[in-house]
């Protein structure tokens, strides 16, 4: 067990280093440099900027400095936000993105978990048809459509909620609702599928035969099994908060999260910011996958036995 964890840790560090290295060199391979905007910069101004960000050093020196800084959690100054470091910009936006992401994912887990099980238990009855139908719609509707529908109904027609912004509790409702609807739809489908499958497992039949009560079978025996697909989904879903769904929702509702930097940095070839946003994403992805793997070990005794 300990060895497995250690192995995992080493693998994670190697993966992380490989990823940041690829990003470091990829951004510098882009034909569009950070200062080749639409304005013709005089040679001297360009040089001054490049010197300021140490872009005239040999590549291996830049790479070495990048790793050294990273080891001290310094992602460097943003090219396009003078006077601001990448980590300070990310730190400023992270609480917003995290609040948005985790509250909607949490809510979605609650909703998706219960409705998914409910739908499975009422398999092919009207409750199931309504719930699964709703989930199909939810999955097919892209975030930006849901966001605008919610905005139209609640902010424009009914005027119950503000159109945009961040700061007051009411402003957070629509963005969270948008993401929650989407995540709920997915989690519900996964839970329903998992539950249906679990209910057909031999050990459930055994439990029935032993005369275990229906609810005890569902909660105690089937749910554990049924939750596995959802669990596998959660890792990437949490990492996806940074870059995927929240990016669109943040942009539509004008939230000051880090979503905006993913696009802006790429468009403007802001090297340090691209590195910063990528690193944030990698860290989340690796961290979440590890947590999910750990959780699977806890949930499934078979995996523990298999581990050397």
Partner 1 sequence: MKRIVVTSLLMAGLLAFGCKGADTPAKSGEVSVAAPAVEADAVETKYYGTVKPKALTDDTLTICLGPQLKTLDPQKQDESWGVPYSEALIEGLVGYDPEDPLKVVPGVAESWETSADNMTWTFHLGKDRYWYKSGTGTVEKLRPVTAADVKVGWERCLKPEGDCSYRPMFKDVLVAGVDEYFDKLDAWAATKDEKQKKVLRPEVDRLFAQVMKGIEVVDESTLRVQLSSPSSIFLLQMGFPVFSPVYREAVEQYGDAWTQPQNIVTNGPFVLQSWQPDKIVLVKNPAYWGWNAERHGVQKITGYTPSNYEAMLQMYEQGDLDWMGIGCRVMPKMVEQYRGKVADLHINGVGANAYLTVNQVLNAGSSEEKIRLRDALRDVRVRRALGLSINRTTLVRMTKSGHNPMGTFVPLGVGGHKPADNVGFTYDLPAAKAALRDAGYPNGEGFPSFTLAHPNEAVAQLTAQIIQGFWKELGLTVQLVPKQGSQLFGDAMAHNYEISASGWIGDYPDPYTFLMMKRTGNPYNFEGWSNPAYDDLTWKAFTTPDPAKKLAWNQEAEKMLLDDAVVIPLYQINIAQLIKPYLRGLYPNASDHHPLRDVSIVRK
Angle at the Cα of 147 from the Cα atoms of 146 and 153, rounded to 5 degrees: 90
Whether the Cβ atoms of residue 299 and residue 62 lie closer than 8 Å to each other: no
Does 256 participate in binding partner 1 (rule CB under 8 A)? yes
Does 163 participate in binding partner 1 (rule CB under 8 A)? yes
Tell me whether residue 46 or residue 228 sits nearer to partner 1 (CB atom).
46
Shortest distance, position 93 Cβ to partner 1, whole Å: 7
Shortest distance, position 138 Cβ to partner 1, whole Å: 22
Both tokens of 233, joined, read 């989904």
Shortest distance, position 106 Cβ to partner 1, whole Å: 24
Does 38 participate in binding partner 1 (rule CB under 8 A)? yes
Does 160 participate in binding partner 1 (rule CB under 8 A)? no
Tell me whether residue 148 or residue 203 sits nearer to partner 1 (CB atom).
148
Of 89-108, which residues contact partner 1 (CB under 8 A)? 89, 92-93
Taking contact as CB under 8 A, which single stretch among the options 37-45, 104-112, 133-141, 234-242 is the one that binds partner 1?
A: 37-45
Tell me whether residue 163 or residue 204 sits nearer to partner 1 (CB atom).
163
What is the Cα–Cα distance from 239 to 254, expressed in whole angstroms?
21
What is the Cα–Cα distance from 264 to 302, expressed in whole angstroms?
46
Taking contact as CB under 8 A, which single stretch among the options 131-139, 149-157, 188-196, 287-295 is the one that binds partner 1?
A: 149-157
Does 145 participate in binding partner 1 (rule CB under 8 A)? no
Tell me whether residue 34 or residue 229 sits nearer to partner 1 (CB atom).
34
Residues 6+ apart with CB under 8 A from 285: 235, 236, 239
Tell me the number of residues near partner 1 by CB under 8 A.
45
1, 44, 71, 158: which one binds partner 1 (CB under 8 A)? 44
Does 164 participate in binding partner 1 (rule CB under 8 A)? yes
What is the Cα–Cα distance from 16 to 31, expressed in whole angstroms?
25
Taking contact as CB under 8 A, which single stretch among the options 13-21, 30-38, 64-72, 124-132 is the one that binds partner 1?
A: 30-38
Shortest distance, position 79 Cβ to partner 1, whole Å: 10
Helices (H), the chain: 2-29, 43-52, 59-71, 86-121, 126-140, 143-150, 173-199, 202-209, 214-216, 223-240, 245-252, 259-267, 271-299, 301-306
Query: Closest by alpha carbon to 76, among 265, 306, 267, 244?
Result: 265
Which CA distances in Å does 265 have to 33, 41, 271?
12, 20, 7
Q: Which residues of 38-71 are buried (b: 16+ CB within 10 A; e: fewer)?
A: eeeeeeeeeeeeeeebebeeeeeebbeebeeebe
Both tokens of 220, joined, read 């105690």
Shortest distance, position 260 Cβ to partner 1, whole Å: 6
Site map (CB under 8 A) of partner 1, residues 63-92, x = contact: --------------x--xxxxx----x--x
1, 3, 43, 168: which one binds partner 1 (CB under 8 A)? 43
Q: Left, alpha or beta for 10 (phi > 0: left; psi -120 to 50: alpha)? A: alpha
Sign of CA dihedral 79, 80, 83, 84: negative
Does 54 participate in binding partner 1 (rule CB under 8 A)? no
Give the footprint of partner 1 on this chain (CB under 8 A): 31-32, 36-49, 51-52, 77, 80-84, 89, 92-93, 151, 155-156, 159, 162-166, 250-256, 260, 264
């Amino acid at each position: 067990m300990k060895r497995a964890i250690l192995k995992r840790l080493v693998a994670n560090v190697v993966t992380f280093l490989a990823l940041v290295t690829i990003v470091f060199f990829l951004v510098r391979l882009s034909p569009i440099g950070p200062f080749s905007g639409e304005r013709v910069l005089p040679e001297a101004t360009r040089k001054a900027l490049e010197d300021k960000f140490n872009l005239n050093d040999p590549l291996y020196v830049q790479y070495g400095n990048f790793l050294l800084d990273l080891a001290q959690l310094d992602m460097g100054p943003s090219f396009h936000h003078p006077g601001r470091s990448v980590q300070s910009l990310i730190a400023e936006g992270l609480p917003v993105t995290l609040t948005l992401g985790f509250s909607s994912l949490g809510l979605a887990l609650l909703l998706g978990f219960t409705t998914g099980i409910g739908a499975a238990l009422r398999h092919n009855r009207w409750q199931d048809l309504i719930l699964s139908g709703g989930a199909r719609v939810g999955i097919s509707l892209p975030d930006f459509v849901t966001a605008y529908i919610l905005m139209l109904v609640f902010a424009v027609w009914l005027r119950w909620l503000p159109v945009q912004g961040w700061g007051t509790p009411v402003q957070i409702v629509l963005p969270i609702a948008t993401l929650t609807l989407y995540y709920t739809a997915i989690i519900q489908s996964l839970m329903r599928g998992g539950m249906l499958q679990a209910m057909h497992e031999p050990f459930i039949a055994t439990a029935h035969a032993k005369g275990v009560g229906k609810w005890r079978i569902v909660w105690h025996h089937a749910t554990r099994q049924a939750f596995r697909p959802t669990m596998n989904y959660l890792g990437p879903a949490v990492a996806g908060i940074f870059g995927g769904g929240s990016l669109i929702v943040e942009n539509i509702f004008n939230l000051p999260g880090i979503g905006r930097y993913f696009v802006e940095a790429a468009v403007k070839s802001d090297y340090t910011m691209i590195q910063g946003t990528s690193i944030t994403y990698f860290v989340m992805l690796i961290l979440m996958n590890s947590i999910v793997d750990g959780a699977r070990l806890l949930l499934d005794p078979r995996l523990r036995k298999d581990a050397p």
